[in-house]
Amino acid sequence: MQGPLIDTLVRQGIGRRTFLKYCATLASMMALPPAAGRAMADALAAARRPSVIWLPFQECTGCTESMTRSHSPTIEGMIFDMISLDYHETLMAAAGQQAEEALHAAMKENSGKYLLIVDGSIPLGIDGAYSCIAGRTNVDLLKEAAAGAAAIVAMGTCAAFGGIPKAKPNPTGAVAVSDIVKDKPIVNVPGCPPIPVVMTGVLAHYLTFGSLPELDDKLRPTAFYGETIHDRCYRRPFYDQGKFAKTFDDEGARKGWCLFELGCKGPVTHNACATTKWNGGTSWPVESGHGCLGCSEPDFWDAGGFYKALSMPADPLKMGAAAAVAGAAAGVAVSFANRGKKRAAQVTHETTTLADLEK
């Protein structure tokens, strides 16, 4: 299936008009100038499908599920279909020896040009033995595949930041792609799972401009991760008015008030859920009545509990009583010393006479 993308799309019943609209939307989401939509459309239409190698490591396949199933009828899904996905364990028909051959063939053929997508974290404990494919550790595979990649997309929070496998106490010694690969451009697309349009947006940008989009300090595309959930949340006015749901089934919850007190991590979570929503714009967690878990942020799993508001202590306070006792002990000790000193001063008081006024 070679040839320009637009031909494939047309063959699948996607008209040019629909495609243009998609590109314009994508461009605006990525905060590109309006003209970029057409440029993107032109570039994408003419683009040859790049070779993409998808390596799954310590993961739950949720990212793949997100990419494929939930968006299968959409353009994002189409585009995704249209890339030359040369290796994806879950999706490819081949298995075993065949699959490995396909991987190595693709790496050799497109050396220096292919896009490497990684989902899942990389375990480093006991020499990486926690996760192996074809007898080789994830860290080995990643290093090999990264060597010939043009760029790497770390798909999902596990690949981007270590994710759930890295949650305390991190038994497998899981790390992120960026902890291992230091010499290739990396784009982190965190989320558990990430939003499909973010993925296609990054690809579209890469295909259109031949470069990766603008990234923030955590290597996330600023177009999607530049603002917090809280910034864009439709429930934000309730926060400002101080109207909070106190439980999941109270009056406030029914009225759709702010979920801050129920532990929503929207204020510290950078993602596009509030604008793109999920399942083709149907809904998203906050809209469905649950606070944001902060899944696109590093170590979200250990950020003090999903149902604890941000202003609440992350850990139970253990030191209060002990501190009070220690303080009382210190105070009593000082007070004994003080009283002793004062009594001593009073006992040794020498009565002043007139002569004692003279120096």
Partner 1 sequence: MDALELLTWARGPGLNIALGIFVLGVVWRLIEIYSLGRRTDLAPARQHAGASGLHTVLRRSVPPPGMLRSSPVSYIGGFVFHIGLALIVFLFAPHILLIRDLTGLSWPALPSQFIDMVTVVTLVAMVVVLVDRINKPAKRFLSTFGDWFTWAVTFLPVLTGWMAVQHLLLPYTLMLALHILSVELLLVVLPFTKLIHAFTLFGSRWYAGRINAHKGVPV
Partner 2 sequence: MTATLERGLHALKEVIDAPIASYFSSCVHCGLCAEACLFYTETGDPRYTPIHKLEPLRRVYEQEYTLLGRLKKGLGLSKPVTDAELDAWQDLVYDSCTMCGRCSLVCPVGNDIVYMVRKLREGMAASGHVPDGIRNATRRTVEIGGPMGLKWPAVANVIRKVEEATGLKVPVDQAGADYLVLLSSMEIVNYPEYIEALAKIFHKAGISFTVASDAFEATNAGIQIGNSDLAKVIVSRIVDAAERLKVKRVLSPECGHAYMAIRWEGPNLIGRPYAFEVVHVLELLDELRGKGMLKMKSKIKDPLILHDPCQIVRRGGVLQAPEPLIQEVAERYIPIADKQKWNWCCGGGGGASAIHTEEAEALRAKAFQVKKRQIESTGVNTMVTFCANCRIVIEEGFDHYQMDTRLLGLTELLAEHLEE
The contact pattern for partner 2, residues 291-330, with x = CB under 8 A and - = no contact, is ---------------------------------------x
Query: Which of partner 1, partner 2, none interacts with 354 (beta carbon under 5 to 8 A by kind)?
Result: partner 2
Contact 31, 223 (CB under 8 A): yes
Q: Residue 348's binding partner, choosing from partner 2, partner 1, none, with beta-carbon cut-off 5 to 8 A by kind? A: partner 2
Cβ proximity to partner 1, 44 vs 258, nearer residue: 258
Are 116 and 53 in contact by the 8 Å Cβ rule? The answer is yes
**Residue 278 DSSP SS3:** strand
d(C-alpha 344, C-alpha 141), whole Å: 78
For residue 1, the partner it binds in partner 1, partner 2, none, with Cβ less than 5 to 8 A by kind, is none
Which one-letter amino acid corresponds to residue 10?
A: V
Question: What is the SS3 assignment for 11?
Answer: helix
Q: Are 162 and 190 in contact (CB under 8 A)?
A: no
* Residues of the shown chain interacting with partner 1 in the complex, contacts defined by CB under 8 A: 218, 228, 230-231, 239-242, 244, 260-261, 267-268, 294, 297-300, 302-304, 308-315, 317-320, 322-324, 326-328, 330-332, 334-335, 338-339, 342
DSSP 8-state secondary structure symbol assigned to residue 12: T
Select the binding partner of residue 132 from partner 1, partner 2, none (C-beta < 5 to 8 A, by kind). none
Nearer to partner 2, 217 or 358 (CB): 358
**Which one of residues 323, 334, 336, 340 is an interface residue with partner 2 (CB under 8 A)?**
334
Q: How far is the CB of 324 from partner 2 (least distance, A)?
A: 17
Quick one: tokens of 237? 């006015």
User: Are 300 and 310 contacting, i.e. CB atoms less than 8 angstroms apart?
Assistant: no
Q: Identify which of 103, 128, 126 has the alpha carbon closest to the alpha carbon of residue 116.
A: 103
Q: What is the contact surface with partner 2 in residues (CB under 8 A)?
A: 330, 334, 337-338, 341-342, 345-346, 348-359
